Structure 1
Amino acid sequence: MKIISWNIRGLGGFEKRKEVRKLVGDQKPFIRCLQETKLSHCDVFMCSTLWGSSQHAFSYRPSDGASGGLLTLWDTSEVEVWTSETSNHVLWCRGRFVKSGDEFLLANVYAPCDDGAKQRLWDSLSARILLTGRERVCICGDFNAVRQPEERRSARGSQRSMDIDPFNHFIDENNLIDLPLIGRNFTWFKGDGLVMSRLDRFLLSEEWCLTWPNCKQVATLRGLSDHCPLVLSASDEDWGPRPSRMLKCWTDVPGYNSFVKEKWNSLHVDGWGGFVLKEKLKMIKVALKGWHQAHVQNLPSRIESLKERLSVLDQKGEEEELTEIELAELHGVTAGIHSMSRLHASISWQQSRSLWLKEGDANTKYFHSVLARRRRRNAISVIQVGGVTLEGVNPIRQAVFSHFASHFKNPDMERPGVDNLQFKRLSHFERGSLIKPFTEAEVKTAV
């Protein structure tokens, strides 16, 4: 089970749609809850650009003026939604997870900024939760409120606290569970490096947490939006980056043909024809890997590097005020993400065209089914170390690392020796007793 909530602010931009789609592809969510400042209209084409070619459906609430737009998308092969209804600042969806059959009620929330309007929203949510009884309820989105002063930082130094008590009262009154946030302290950043808050979160009912006791919410790196995407997951194992695959769009990159021709002619291998061909193919593969890093894969990696640098600046801004140089760097990094995203979008648009879709190399149902079976077969879910059973990615990863680290320690390190040590020695009689046959009396005594 995996759900993503994100206030994207500006789905009309192609770059942001590509970023939303990339996050969907990386995280493989069952449900995606988006909050949009100006969402006056939503159709099948827009949702396809956000989700991709896989099966999906959606429900949306148009924005009221300049705020309040809500969009919920879900994977129809994993989630079945029966009803969808809207109220002020909320988009409700009721359904079930197909594989487990567990039913749920999901609320996508985009709270207003006015304190009075927020209180009316808390009251309406409480009334709806009261009617549901003991159901699995998940309320997520941008609440535009914090639970304690430490969750908000202002450039003026003063902390606005009018919304803290009503928001806590709403959570406590409905017995909602606010999971600890992993990865970040704040989820919204103004962009000046001085103002930040934790406005986004998942609130879960007790029944939801009983069904999925291993739920966790993680704030991932923000990119084009001023909000961090939140991921709610249960029992999902993330073993790190996936290996890259060769792209057939290389022939469309300028200089590819001349690079291959020059590199192939520069390789010299002696031997019979079959051996020469095999060795040159191995060497050209290594050369193409470096070319791929520089011309195709380098763009997304540079974008991710900028996002990581942006995260470092954000985290530093959470602890102390940024200097003028750091603020200038923050604005430069943000501008770099925008420009590189536009450049990468043109390449991605080319990649998604004829070769992949025509030949079915990456988007067929068969390909995904084979990939899923291989991942399940190769997955390591449980290992035993010293009689202790370990589960989860981090414990298993640490156990494997410690095991091989103990085998490959520095052999030159000083070890205690046994030279010049005086040991006790057995006498001649004692040595003979070691091989003496057991007597019947000794066996009875031992038994």
Structure 2
Amino acid sequence: MRMVKDLKRKNRLNMLSLVETKRQSVTRFDVSKIWGNDCVGWEYVESTGASGGLLLMWDNGFFDMRNCYKNERWLCVEGVLLQNNFNCAFILVYGAHLRDEKLVVWEELSYIAGLCQVSCCLIGDFNEIIHCDERRGTDRLSVSAEEFKNWIQDMGLVDLPITDRKFTWFRGRSCSRIDRAMVSLEWLEEFPETRLRGGPRGLSDHCPIIVEDKRLRGGPRPFRSLDSWFTHEGFLRMVKEEWRGLGDVQFTDKLKALSVPLGRWHKDNFGDMDNKILKLEEEIKKIDDRVGDGAYDETVDARRKALVTWYEKWYVRKELHWKQMSRSRHARDMDKNTRYFHNIASARRRNNRVDALVINGRMIRNQARIKLAIRDFYKDLYHQEKSPFVGFRE
């Protein structure tokens, strides 16, 4: 029996999942013993002999189950998160080993997710990777891995990055990341701070994985150049004028000073892309309504073409912006799913933050101490020692 999920919110255990229970039957006594009290709901899938078996438990004050669907390799509970009245489904998965069996499991999960018609969180041992660096010694993905990767994208799921380890399964010299948690875009919109980390492996060959909704204060955000800026006709002219206006100062100071007018220019020109696109859509609709009423001439046609041209420009700018911010390895050229990229970018910002640091052998979680330690480390690293004065004799 191994734990693969521990859903926590505000340091409280709310849901626990077990894969490979190797139990043909599970009783309330078993569940209460594992959970620690009787205030627990649960569902299970029996094992086949001494193989497989799934168990999902939850705090009755956290989740109210409405429907349950089962198969030998997955367990789905659909219901409501009581704290915010959020309709969702949790799907616990024990992946197959053979390619044909994996395809059947992916098809079944697609059907169940469509049947539930709510936000989903899929978690478990999927027995498959989606990137070469998720399995040691692998330099190319297998056919089944490519199919799994495409299935994730077709389902519109976000594979949560694990923050504190590279692999989750170990056997001898072999190691892979086959245990994962994936959530729908609607899930991330409701819980934007969802994070994934690993727990201690102990005697098992799998690491438990822990899903948390944990809000952290971030530090200052670094300045970066955005690809979308270069699509604007006035960008380079503005940079040249501001650069000349800064005069003769050190190059690094000049770059730092340039960030102020750049930030102001970005806010004025790119600050509300969604509203700009929405207004253009409304204007195009008005033109279409006029044409529908029979008011069509060359002026109307020219106006519509101009609006469509501007609409395309702003849509491409928005796409470029979120593709760059997400740096998604799933991104395909000209895929207009900016909502997907937006949530990937949010996930990257969450998982790039440092919420714990080992300082002098001790694990520190205090954000103020972490910031000081990082600052002192780089200050010492890039400190230039005084060089002896070298003179020349004539």
Q: Please report the TM-score for the alignment, with normalisation by the length of structure 2.
A: 0.53
Cα distance between partner residues in 2 of 1:78 and 1:35: 21
The aligned counterpart of 1:222 is: 201
SS of structure 2 residue aligned to 1:118: helix
SS of structure 1 residue aligned to 2:65: strand
The aligned amino acid for 1:150 is: D
Q: Please report the TM-score for the alignment, with normalisation by the length of structure 1.
A: 0.47
What is the Cα deviation at residue 56 of structure 1? Answer: 0.8
SS of structure 2 residue aligned to 1:82: strand
Are the equivalent residues in 2 in contact too, given 1:149–1:161 (CA < 8 A)? Answer: no
After superposing on structure 2, the runs of 4+ consecutive aligned residues of structure 1 that deviate more than 3 Å are: 6-9, 157-160, 391-396, 400-406
The aligned counterpart of 2:366 is: 397
Of 135, 140, 149, the match for 1:152: 135
Q: Deviations over 1:142-191 (max 9, x none)?
A: 0011112221126xx7877242111111101111100111111000111x
The aligned counterpart of 1:105 is: 89
The aligned amino acid for 2:195 is: K
Cα distance between partner residues in 1 of 2:136 and 2:112: 32
- Structure 1 residues 125 and 177 mapped into 2: Cα distance closer, same or farther (>3 Å)? same
Of 161, 168, 173, the match for 2:142: 161
The aligned amino acid for 1:163 is: S
Of 157, 164, 169, the match for 1:176: 157
The aligned counterpart of 1:232 is: 211
Cα distance between partner residues in 1 of 2:215 and 2:51: 33
Task: Note if 1:57 corresponds to 2:41.
Answer: yes
Q: Deviations over 1:311-355 (max 9, x none)?
A: xxxxxxxxxxxxxxxxxxxxxxxxxxxxxxxxxxxxxxxxxxxxx
Cα distance between partner residues in 2 of 1:8 and 1:99: 25
1:290-329 map, 5 Å: none
Are the equivalent residues in 2 in contact too, given 1:183–1:220 (CA < 8 A)? Answer: no
Cα distance between partner residues in 2 of 1:403 and 1:90: 46
The aligned counterpart of 1:347 is: none
- Structure 1 residues 160 and 210 mapped into 2: Cα distance closer, same or farther (>3 Å)? closer
The aligned amino acid for 1:184 is: R
The aligned counterpart of 1:207 is: 186
- Structure 1 residues 27 and 161 mapped into 2: Cα distance closer, same or farther (>3 Å)? farther
SS of structure 2 residue aligned to 1:169: helix
Are the equivalent residues in 2 in contact too, given 1:88–1:121 (CA < 8 A)? Answer: no
Task: Note if 1:89 corresponds to 2:73.
Answer: yes
RMSD in angstroms over aligned alpha carbons? 3.5
Cα distance between partner residues in 2 of 1:80 and 1:50: 20
Are the equivalent residues in 1 in contact too, given 2:21–2:55 (CA < 8 A)? Answer: no
Are the equivalent residues in 1 in contact too, given 2:63–2:82 (CA < 8 A)? Answer: yes
Cα distance between partner residues in 2 of 1:115 and 1:404: 48
Are the equivalent residues in 1 in contact too, given 2:43–2:57 (CA < 8 A)? Answer: yes
Are the equivalent residues in 2 in contact too, given 1:152–1:159 (CA < 8 A)? Answer: no
- Structure 1 residues 27 and 66 mapped into 2: Cα distance closer, same or farther (>3 Å)? farther
Name structure 2 gaps, 5 residues minimum: 218-352, 358-364, 376-394
SS of structure 1 residue aligned to 2:57: strand
Q: Deviations over 1:210-254 (max 9, x none)?
A: 10011111112211221111111113679xxxxxxxxxxxxxxxx
Q: How many residues align?
A: 233
The aligned counterpart of 2:105 is: 121
The aligned counterpart of 1:384 is: none
The aligned counterpart of 1:185 is: 166
Cα distance between partner residues in 1 of 2:21 and 2:132: 25
Larger radius of gyration: 1
The aligned counterpart of 2:391 is: none
The aligned amino acid for 2:63 is: V
What is the Cα deviation at residue 115 of structure 1? Answer: 1.4
SS of structure 2 residue aligned to 1:83: strand
